[in-house]
Amino acid sequence: MKRLSAFILSILCIYAIYFDLTKGTLPDQNKEIAVEASAADHQSAGLEYFEEQVGPGETVLTIMEAELGGPVPVAIETVVNDFQNLNNGIQPEQIQNGKTYKFPSYK
């Protein structure tokens, strides 16, 4: 009887792991991200920006601080989201020397 119980418990655990890996037990995160992205796109439609060519060693924050003449007046997360919206989803870490990007202007 103990062997049968252990066997059934093992099968149940294997099935639970299989189900979790293939279908998951959490809600579909992709749908939520798509909704957030489309809402952000609508918000960025009226966002003011300036274009700047990236120089060696520059980051999104250093370029924006130089343009604004001081610290950025909004949260870094806001800067990252606005930068991605203006540049078709490019991550701030992926900017390349010599290329021109759009940077949000918070003047």
pLDDT in tens, 1-27: 889 999 999 999 898 888 877 876 665
Mean pLDDT confidence for 87-95: 92
Query: With helix as H, strand as E and coil as C, how does 32-68 read?
Result: HHHHHHHHHHHHHCCCCEEEEECCCCCCHHHHHHHHH
pTM of full prediction above 0.75: no
pLDDT in tens, 19-70: 877 876 665 555 445 445 544 544 545 789 999 999 999 999 999 999 989 8
